[in-house]
Amino acid sequence: MTDSLSPRQLLEKSDLIFCEDEIRAVMLRLAAEITRELAESEPLVLCVMGGAVVFTGQLLTLLNFPLEFDYVQASRYHKGTSGQQLVWKVTPGDNVRGRTVLLLDDILDEGHTLAAVQERCLQAGAERVVIAVLAEKDTGLDKPIRADFVGLQLPNRYVFGCGMDVHGWWRNLPSIYALKD
């Protein structure tokens, strides 16, 4: 089982899915697409912590328009490899009221976390919630939400790197890997 392996063994027993150069090209493309859509709206950018911190940090420096930044924290994975009950640590604040919100997350997997965050933003008075994700996993299942901007399409495998973790490890990798089936 993968949770009994050391972090280095996990990486050694994984497949490279997207390399660092491919990730950089995706960031540039997403920044251009988001800029075309939101440059005039002066959005509030919300990062879904902790997975989206790497994606957000790389993307923000490429957005050439005024924005405000904040974060939310909700998770279903809790260092595991399958979703559980959603746990909120930080909910959207009053600063979403009347605003266009750009919600950034690392991955659109089953979609339950992003759907809950979007709903909370709208309940808190956001005028509009636009979603950008580094990657979307092809689960073959219907999802309760769609992202407006998607960087990469991923296979239906457990992936990590670029902010996504495996048992709490390897968020810091500049590439995306998948555990072997």
The domain segmentation of the chain, as residue ranges, is 2-175
pLDDT band at 74 (very low <50, low <70, confident <90, very high): confident
Pure H helices in the chain: 7-12, 20-38, 53-60, 112-123
| pLDDT value, residue 2 | 64
| pLDDT value, residue 93 | 87
CA-CA distance, 89 to 75, in Å (whole number)? 8
Structure tokens that stand for 134 in this block: 């580094």
Give the least confident one: 18-32, 41-55, 82-96, 130-144.
Answer: 82-96
Residue whose C-alpha is closest to residue 110's, from 148, 169, 154, 161: 154
From the CB of residue 145, how many other CB atoms can be counted at a distance below 10 Å?
17
pLDDT digits (tens, 9 = 90+) for 6-39: 999 999 999 999 999 999 999 999 999 999 999 9
Q: H/E element holding 160?
A: strand 159-160
| pLDDT value, residue 77 | 59
Structure tokens that stand for 79 in this block: 């260092």
| pLDDT value, residue 80 | 53
| pLDDT value, residue 60 | 97
Structure tokens that stand for 174 in this block: 């500049």
Mean pLDDT of 55-64: 97
Give the least confident one: 1-15, 92-106, 116-130, 161-175.
Answer: 1-15
Measured CA to CA in angstroms, residue 74 lies from 48, 85, 174 at distances of 7, 10, 23
Q: Phi, psi (5° rounding) for residue 156?
A: -80, 70
| pLDDT value, residue 56 | 97
- Give the architecture (CATH level 2) of 2-175: 3-Layer(aba) Sandwich (3.40)
Residue whose C-alpha is closest to residue 70's, from 95, 51, 87, 35: 95
Catalytic machinery residues: 109
Check whether 83 has a pLDDT greater than 70: no
Cα dihedral across residues 5, 7, 12, 13: positive or negative: positive
Check if the beta carbon of residue 170 is closer than 8 Å to that of residue 7: yes
